[in-house]
Amino acid sequence: MNVLITSGGGAKGAFSVGALRQLMTTTGIRNFDLISGTSTGALIAAMVAAGKIPEVTDIYLSNSNADILNKQNAIDNIINNKPYLYDTTPLENQIRQQMTDAAWHTIQQSPALLCLNAVCLQTGRLTVFSSRPLAANPHYDNLVISTTEMLVKALQSSSNQAVFMPPVTINGLQYVDGGNREVIPTRAVVSNLPPQQEHRIYILSNNPDAQQPGTGNYTALLDVLMRAVTIFIQEVRENDLEVLSAYKQSASTPVKVYYISPEAELDPDFPTGLRFDRLLMQSWMKQGQLRAKTILQQSPNGNW
């Protein structure tokens, strides 16, 4: 099986798109059997499943912050019990523009299993929205996508970062970014890979493999917050990769893993990925392309 895992990372998803395009060119793969995504990676995953590679490329090259977020007055939102800093109507409009009835039909008809991660605020558990039922697993809940509207809501849920963006309500429960539990969404993958088959797993991560050291003293409120977010993301990523490592060690058939990530933090000042700068995203997409080309050429049997 060919498996694609796309990580969270906001605007840094441009790196993943560049890596994905190079991956398809180098390997000749056009379709994946299982696609798992979190946050911006969920948006990429859905576009891949719908066969919209040119469109997802254009999205990450052309968008600015205003195309994704409407900044709110934080004090007014606190007073009026609005639990977010940004209104995401522009993002929702873009999701609806791409995830039409026709796109959902393509995903439904595809042999690929699509998995989109979110976290439920009420239960605190990882929830995987999927195009088909998943194998039962104690580590996540599963909701099967049944309509275009549910697909849109699932993508909003997966990509809306808690506090920064509003929770999304589905069936009376509130959902936020899956990166709170899985930045690199591996659990749905290892639980749904059929045994007795060889698997090739392509991981597109928007964050460097190693924790980047901090610089100087942190005295400003936002500086401390952003550094804490960076540390949190690293911890979650390491846990995600440990899940995959345990599966690979126990598998009875070959599992080749191709792990493609930047060599350094793409945007140290905005680890949340909420800076949609067109020139930066163009640069990150090029970095993703070059990094994927190097890894795939130098490690034809996997590098992880």
Which of 101, 114, 110 has the alpha carbon at shortest distance from 42? Answer: 114
Q: Looking at 36, 131, 177, 261, which residue is catalytic? A: 177
Angle, in degrees to the nearest 10, between helices 13-27 and 278-298:
40
Torsion of CA 155, 157, 158, 162, to 10 degrees: 150
Greatest Cα pair distance in the chain: 57
**CA gap 280, 239 in Å, rounded:** 29
- What pairing do the DSSP bridges indicate for beta strands 199-204 and 255-260? parallel
End-to-end CA distance of the chain: 17
Q: Is residue 7 flagged as an active site residue?
A: no
Contacts (Cβ under 8 Å, ≥6 apart) of 286: 18
Q: Looking at 7, 16, 36, 39, which residue is catalytic? A: 39
- Reported in sequence order, the residue ranges of 89-197 that DSSP labels E, i.e. its strands, are 113-120, 126-130, 140-144, 168-170, 173-177
Both tokens assigned to 37: 């995504």
Q: Which amino acid is at 135?
A: A
Contacts (Cβ under 8 Å, ≥6 apart) of 40: 6, 8, 9, 10, 11, 12, 13, 16, 159, 206, 273
Residue 104 DSSP class: H
What's the Rg (C-alpha) of the chain? 18
Contacts (Cβ under 8 Å, ≥6 apart) of 304: 203, 257, 258, 259
227, 214 in Cβ contact below 8 A? Answer: yes
Q: Is residue 277 flagged as an active site residue?
A: no
The residues annotated as belonging to the active site are: 39, 177
